[in-house]
Amino acid sequence: MKIIKRNGAEVPFDLSKILAAITKANETVEPDQRMTPMQIQRIADSVELACEDLRRAPTVEEIQDLVENQIMAHGAFEVAKHYITYRYTRSLIRKSNTTDDKILSLIECNNEEAKQENSNKNPVVNSTQRDYMAGEVSRDITNRILLPQDIVDAHQDGLIHFHDSDYFAQHMHNCDLVNLEDMLQNGTVITGTLIERPHSFSTACNIATQIIAQVASNQYGGQSISLTHLAPFVQVSREKIRAAVEEEMKAIGATPTEQQLCDMTERRLREEIRRGVQTIQYQVVTLLTTNGQAPFVTVFMYLGEAKNEQEKHDLALIIEETLLQRYQGVKNEKGVWVTPAFPKLIYVLEEDNIREDAPYWYLTKLAAKCTAKRMVPDYISEKKMLELKVDKNGDGHCYTCMGCRSFLTPYVDENGQPKYYGRFNQGVVTINLVDVALSSGKSMDRFWQIFDERLELCHRALMCRHERLKGTLSDAAPILWQYGACARLEKGEPINKLLYGGYSTISLGYAGLYECVKYMTDKSHTDPQATPFALEVMHYMNAACKKWKEMHNIDFSLYGTPLESTTYKFAKCLQRRFGIVPGITDKGYVTNSYHVHVTEEIDAFEKLRFEAQFQHLSPGGAISYVEVPNMQNNIDAVLEVMKFIYEHIIYAELNTKSDYCQECGFDGEIQIAEEDGKLIWKCPQCGNTDQDKMNVARRTCGYIGTQYWNQGRTQEIKDRVLHL
């Protein structure tokens, strides 16, 4: 069994240290108030047993809490008092410097929490370590200076989660939709160099990757680009290639027919499209931004965005090539084709591609084949978005999320035109619904009272995020605010006008709806008797967002939080505050947003149908998934799920497995096993457990992770049941 030290390092559990600490406290009291050696041994054994029951690595603080409780349970109150006093004194000493130990443990690569903080960051490489080191300093400043103490305490106790506090000291926002069309058509500036409108498709793709990298280095969340914005450059290249072909034919005295000229032009054009798409895929996979990871970018594929039939045809060529290259994958260091994490792909299901007789049905079949092998693309239903994403004029719109799931709300500009590209999200604060429920003791009156208090806490925390951005000058990130990614403001101009009136959003996240409802009603929220309460909770949070929006003229929006590492943090905090409550706190994770619990038996179609009603009530973003086995030999079933998504739900994905063992060449599902009280990844063929010698890709929270996960998230992945 392992434990987590205060600096994040993971070390073996040592019973002798517990015995020594209790003995030391015992020796400081009068002889007649001391415990016997047998009592001390029993306390230590009880603590060890309690730690084993957690089925995860406990923290030092949790162990000390258990020791305190056991000492008091034995009636040795004087010993307990001395033990508590010692802890308090040590705590004061540690508070004199809160960052040195953590930073040193990061550098030496023995900070277990940092290793598993982000499933797409490699904590060993220097660039990631520099980002984590800067993050620790930022988090320290944030906690000591920038945030009110009650918000800091609520975050540390797991009542709320103040996302990305490691970036809060800087004036940075969360995620955005890059206005690639503006930047390509009207030019941009990258690191002081003017980039003019490209004269070919391949150049446009190259510029796009540079923009992606620059944007990723100036904000901390996800970003999305649309392939539609690259489509006009296909025609630019076509005309350029046609002129070159004609010149070549003239030079050799040949007189090809019109059809021959067209065929030669299209063959060369296809090759240029292949090279351009390859540039995007390989650049995104191999780039490292200033935060030590590949750019968190989503590529949007929506035929309905095209301005005319020619552009739609050219866009289809780009989409086809994108799907073909993702189906192939990328080569790992052994030269084996594996599944990359990025770019994330989103394919829109629409009337032009959803049925067998539709003109672009062939793209949908290719998308299904790609999903079965590489887990992407994910799917957005144009039908449901047009129905549910309605602006103030009553018009529906279909558009992409910002990164993995954060959606903007509909917006109409001063000219009455819908606008999405160039907009962004100011940040996220998540409420822990499970803690609200447990704190109520099952009293409904108390539940709503505590809910109000916690929502107001989130409101104030979100306003801290907003105030931190207010007054930011465009010079802080020229690529974003001056050169078109989000706006074209003047140098020295504050970004304030972009923070109000719905241009940008700010998100109230939520976690653990399943556990909240389960505790309050003794039923899963899928039970017809409990679903109304679950929906009432959702409506209550939306009402709070509406009230805050009217109060501040800021677009507060309810967001189904992904919870990557926070799912584990919330679970540990709940266990510390409430102990092990069967069915509620007995696992190392809290359920994401409104999702059906991962262990609940439910078929794919019923799951999507049930969760659709909660997506509609999460306008700031949400995604649903179905867990499926290897579907590469059953593409028809994948297509049936896709058709169901089109008819019933805004945004969904299929989760399969895509792994490879570098030791023995096993190409299948790497298993999760338990050894020495810890969950590890293990090849079922050769028994390899070296994470550096295997490629594992799993969908964690709407996006694919490839750098492994903390113990809570790993347990959640292990517990998942198949829905198909």
The runs of H, that is alpha helices, within 497-634 are 513-521, 531-552, 566-578, 604-616
Cα separation, 698 vs 708, whole angstroms: 9
How many residues comprise the chain? Answer: 724
Q: Give the active site residue among 172, 404, 463, 701.
A: 404
Cα separation, 328 vs 376, whole angstroms: 12
Buried b (16+ CB within 10 A) or exposed e, 619-638: bbbbbbbbbbeebeeeeebb
Q: Give the active site residue among 224, 291, 425, 592.
A: 425
Q: Give the active site residue among 7, 26, 138, 174.
A: 174
Decide if 406 is catalytic: yes
Decide if 353 is catalytic: no
Decide if 701 is catalytic: no
Which of these, 612, 464, 441, lies nearest to 160 by C-alpha position?
464
Q: Give the active site residue among 132, 360, 559, 646.
A: 559
Q: Are 429 and 563 within 8 A, CB to CB?
A: no
Q: Give the active site residue among 175, 370, 375, 458.
A: 175
Decide if 559 is catalytic: yes
CA distances to 57, 110, 680 from 11, rounded to whole Å, are: 9, 9, 16
Decide if 542 is catalytic: no
Cα separation, 515 vs 571, whole angstroms: 11
Decide if 329 is catalytic: no
According to the 3-state scheme, what is the secondary structure of 196-258? CCCCCHHHHHHHHHHHHHHHHCCCCCCEEEEHHHCCHHHHHHHHHHHHHHHHHHHHCCCCCCH
Decide if 264 is catalytic: no
Cα separation, 158 vs 431, whole angstroms: 9
Amino acid at 449: Q
Cα separation, 547 vs 524, whole angstroms: 29
The runs of H, that is alpha helices, within 74-187 are 77-95, 100-107, 112-115, 126-141, 149-156, 180-186
Q: Are 430 and 161 within 8 A, CB to CB?
A: yes
- The continuous run of DSSP H or E covering 16 comes out as helix 15-26
Q: Give the active site residue among 385, 401, 402, 661.
A: 402
According to the 3-state scheme, what is the secondary structure of 376-407? CCEEEEHHHHHHHCECCCCCECCCCCECCCEC
Q: Give the active site residue among 222, 509, 702, 712.
A: 702
Q: Give the active site residue among 113, 305, 382, 564.
A: 564
- The continuous run of DSSP H or E covering 12 comes out as strand 10-12
Q: What is the DSSP string of 134-167?
A: HHHHHHHHIIIIIS-HHHHHHHHTTSEEETTGGG
Cα separation, 593 vs 524, whole angstroms: 14
Q: Give the active site residue among 26, 406, 440, 507.
A: 406
- The partner residues of 682 in beta bridges, in order of sequence, read 671
**Rg of the chain in Å (alpha carbons):** 27
Q: How big is the CA angle at 577 (ends 571 and 580), to the nearest 5 degrees?
A: 65
Contacts with 567 (C-beta within 8 Å, 6 or more apart), sequence order: 511, 589, 590, 591, 592, 712, 713, 716
Decide if 401 is catalytic: no
Q: Coil, strand or helix: which one is 275?
A: helix
Packed helices 258-286 and 309-328: angle between N→C axes, nearest 10 degrees: 50
Active site members: 174-175, 402, 404, 406, 425, 559, 564, 702
